[in-house]
Structure 1
């Protein structure tokens, strides 16, 4: 299990209202208490902060808002002392427009770094070279008068795209990762791997017709990005070679690479990135985050990824710093009366589905997504699509440490973004004292889960039948056979089970049979094990290959 920290909003140690590496160090014991295997830090590199750290101006410097290199070294040592692996966010697809590389590249067409970014001539009518769109709104091309050319940017115009077809640049990027792995970093979450490459023939994307698109697009229903099939600006030709180069580096250095995959049909694309000799160890996608919250849709998505993934590997993710918080997104129908149980149910699913699990800060508290006014918004993406897009700021509000402390114990100064009042009753100190809290359920279940190999790396088979609103699946190794049941509704539900299946005494789970099966109340869940011949039909688990072995040793569970 990996715990994701959005550094800017986790804890402020120096009183400037912005979370920093020192604050992560202060909260490290809490992170370890959750049963965490690894810690993932959002970008803390030097940056103009136009996209809050995802616009890097120097890959090897710590931004002053995040602290110092000494702060990083102390955090690294403390994490390793607690048995936590350390994973950094790495952004290879673009830099800030204030990076020295871009300053040189934009200066002329014949300088040493002229081909380090994606440049193209205008069309005869002066328009951009292609119809490609930024997922943040508008054209993905910006005119640069010094070169009399356009440069490409899949996101903000302040984030020019790097040309990873350039071997010299690719070598430099591997060198930037090597710098951090030589300092003891255990792995990287690779940002936006669907944007590693681009079509060198500069072909236009075709429009989406009546058939619709399989892509899961952020930015809300009015984002024109969803009107194209992104054949030539996402997961384009050459991506496999770039992934192989990163994979060879990871194999040489013994680090783990986890790729963020979005904007495309991730279930079908995931094997391209992971099921190869030199590739990513896992993908981290938005398929479950963007899934419509009903039993048929979620079950269909889980069946589809099971069918397509093969020997690949992925992480189960229901929310992150770029999305609506899980209880407000996937269980909005239950928020008013069942928020706590809904949060437990979603965490249970993450921890029992096949794959690793990444928990975003605050999910262990079951935090809802706050309603924000335009005046509260800091995120440029949200501003571009306001008010039809809820945006990312609700997931980036300060972590609530103490309910009655100024600014919820996050900082002694006014935070860079306001504290959510609805989070105060759910603060860490309140849940520590409540035996039935989301926090205490989560700690107990992660401890229990460690003793069940089938839930860590066992095979998975989804089940489907006339048993709505229950989602069910099977996890098994050669030694253990488990069936998992989730009532994804606020209705009472019944799951017929033959006598050989008995519910396990697992934290938070329904533990008693009711005659011919299990009775599950609103959002309740259970795990059953076979005590006789019913379990003999299980499919033997595949032997874990070198990729899986690496995952297990680097916190991939």
Structure 2
């Protein structure tokens, strides 16, 4: 869990100065709907259960779609619903073109697609190109022998001289990343579970087939894809072993808790390896030809640097979301340094800002310590405001709009294989995946009639949609109001960004600029009051949830408060 964002002092340094000139924007920039978009991530299994089996489904998403549209978002991203043995809850695909029975039917998908578009929203699907399930027919053929038509569709390697795996690569889920297959007398590679063998995307036939799978869904009318684990698309074809981090070291970019051996390596050869950019450029050529958007997930590496490489000049991904801010220490200097580094590296690339997702601790419990205190609501609003005003747009994970804290689950409640591998030092992903709380007056908080696959948390019931919808001061009401207001602020959707420099803790501040307009964003990332000197030519804007009163020489912000300023005309 996160620690406190405790300031070193309550006064910041020099008054704000107008930033220097910004980079010119490319022609057609504003026509890109995804720039500055607010995207809502639906983890289907936990959103709503329409068919009464205890597992969320496509029908449940349809039933809750008015809630999503009512937030004022631009698009919906659906977690995988393809046919799967569910060993990793849909991220282990056995057929890319079939809907898994736990999620519903193709007819359910078509109804949901139409309903999303009828509400003026875009629809994004999760696409997993790095691996399949070991139940996939492709793998069944590949493992049968070295002479089958799909023999080279997966990553196979001979044993080392001592009979062991060909190198020291590790699975981020625990143990070696290689499993022996006696039918081929070879090892196969799996960056995650042994039941998720890695596809060989260096093979042009595999790349062509994956593009055909995306084409199947784009022909059905989806508007884009979230590309899973972009860092795992390629692998070092010389199979060189990774070097160690060093004596007493640990790779802080890695999940799985402090005991995960994966964190002891520098992942030079099994993550973001040579060939990744070429694979992404093939995907982008397909996307451009079909007018769809590709948003890549980046983890396990220096994601700020990779984001620039994979989104610059519009030749690979349209945008990325990464774990850079999620992995920050919950302290104002760390978050500021990460934002400044992103600005320095990104150039004309593009981020979508993410503070949490289905794989991580919920934001209000990770980036602040206020989830269990009276400031939880204020902290949740502050994080949402920050996410929605930084350059790039944002992805809101279901429950962010309610300010849900991260719950603790006992061992007998968890189902996540990653958590089971590293318990008790790592609680895994289940806490972020507990059922969405709709109505505390209904059984299972309105999730469905049957006992849910994960427990509904008592701490979440009091924060349900029913209660917050009736409260104009709630996190939910703030989210709706601010996203609605933001729609008429093109500078916040499309503007360039310049971080303010100088001594300013506990305040973080940045400027957005677009077509001659400027907005100054000021956020107090602490539970103490703070003051920021401001020259007289800046005025406070009236925006939902924002502080609006200024003093003669600056602005005073209460705990976790925030403001938007504009230059005097």
TMscore range, shorter length: over 0.9
Structure-2 residue corresponding to 1:362: 399
Match for 1:508 among 545, 549, 553?
Answer: 545
Match for 1:338 among 375, 400, 408?
Answer: 375
- Is the contact between residue 215 and residue 264 of structure 1 (CA under 8 Å) also seen in structure 2? no
Q: What does 1:29-428 align with in structure 2 at a 5 Å threshold?
A: 29-209=66-246, 216-333=253-370, 335-428=372-465
SS of corresponding position for 1:502: strand
Structure-1 residue corresponding to 2:44: 7
SS of corresponding position for 2:341: helix
Deviation at 1:209, TM superposition (A): 1.7
Supply the distance in 2 between the matched residues of 1:331 and 1:280 (Cα, whole angstroms).
31
TM-score, with length taken from structure 1 = 0.94
Deviation at 1:333, TM superposition (A): 4.5
SS of corresponding position for 2:382: helix
Matched, 1:460 2:497: yes
Structure-2 residue corresponding to 1:486: 523
SS of corresponding position for 2:295: strand
Structure-1 residue corresponding to 2:28: none
Structure-2 residue corresponding to 1:548: none
Greater mean alpha carbon deviation, residues 514-523 or residues 364-373? 514-523
- Is the contact between residue 295 and residue 318 of structure 2 (CA under 8 Å) also seen in structure 1? yes
Deviation at 1:453, TM superposition (A): 1.2
Structure-2 residue corresponding to 1:449: 486
Supply the distance in 2 between the matched residues of 1:184 and 1:489 (Cα, whole angstroms).
45
SS of corresponding position for 2:375: helix
Deviation at 1:390, TM superposition (A): 2.6
Supply the distance in 1 between the matched residues of 2:252 and 2:371 (Cα, whole angstroms).
27
Supply the distance in 1 between the matched residues of 2:462 and 2:501 (Cα, whole angstroms).
39
Supply the distance in 2 between the matched residues of 1:278 and 1:495 (Cα, whole angstroms).
41
Supply the distance in 2 between the matched residues of 1:215 and 1:263 (Cα, whole angstroms).
9
Greater mean alpha carbon deviation, residues 275-284 or residues 204-213? 204-213
Deviation at 1:465, TM superposition (A): 2.2
Supply the distance in 2 between the matched residues of 1:409 and 1:477 (Cα, whole angstroms).
43
Structure-2 residue corresponding to 1:544: none
Query: Alpha-carbon deviations, 1:172-223, whole Å to 9, x = none?
Result: 0000000000000100000000000001101000111259566611111111
SS of corresponding position for 1:29: helix
Deviation at 1:152, TM superposition (A): 0.1
Deviation at 1:502, TM superposition (A): 1.1
Matched, 1:475 2:532: no
Supply the distance in 2 between the matched residues of 1:236 and 1:466 (Cα, whole angstroms).
39
Deviation at 1:241, TM superposition (A): 1.0
SS of corresponding position for 2:179: strand
Compute the RMSD of aligned alpha carbons.
Answer: 1.1
Supply the distance in 2 between the matched residues of 1:153 and 1:482 (Cα, whole angstroms).
47
Supply the distance in 2 between the matched residues of 1:207 and 1:411 (Cα, whole angstroms).
48
Structure-1 residue corresponding to 2:61: 24
SS of corresponding position for 1:117: coil
- Is the contact between residue 215 and residue 265 of structure 1 (CA under 8 Å) also seen in structure 2? no
TM-score, with length taken from structure 2 = 0.92
Query: Alpha-carbon deviations, 1:267-296, whole Å to 9, x = none?
Result: 111111111343110011010111111111
SS of corresponding position for 2:282: helix
Supply the distance in 2 between the matched residues of 1:153 and 1:416 (Cα, whole angstroms).
27
- Is the contact between residue 214 and residue 264 of structure 1 (CA under 8 Å) also seen in structure 2? no
Matched, 1:495 2:518: no
Greater mean alpha carbon deviation, residues 471-480 or residues 50-59? 471-480
- Is the contact between residue 325 and residue 395 of structure 1 (CA under 8 Å) also seen in structure 2? yes
- Is the contact between residue 39 and residue 75 of structure 2 (CA under 8 Å) also seen in structure 1? yes
SS of corresponding position for 1:275: helix
SS of corresponding position for 1:307: helix
Unpaired segments of 5 or more residues in structure 1? 533-557
Supply the distance in 1 between the matched residues of 2:348 and 2:314 (Cα, whole angstroms).
11
- Is the contact between residue 324 and residue 390 of structure 1 (CA under 8 Å) also seen in structure 2? no
- Is the contact between residue 535 and residue 553 of structure 2 (CA under 8 Å) also seen in structure 1? yes
- Is the contact between residue 13 and residue 23 of structure 1 (CA under 8 Å) also seen in structure 2? yes
Supply the distance in 2 between the matched residues of 1:453 and 1:211 (Cα, whole angstroms).
48
Structure-2 residue corresponding to 1:543: none
Query: Alpha-carbon deviations, 1:394-414, whole Å to 9, x = none?
Result: 110000000121000001010
Structure-1 residue corresponding to 2:4: none
Unpaired segments of 5 or more residues in structure 2? 1-37
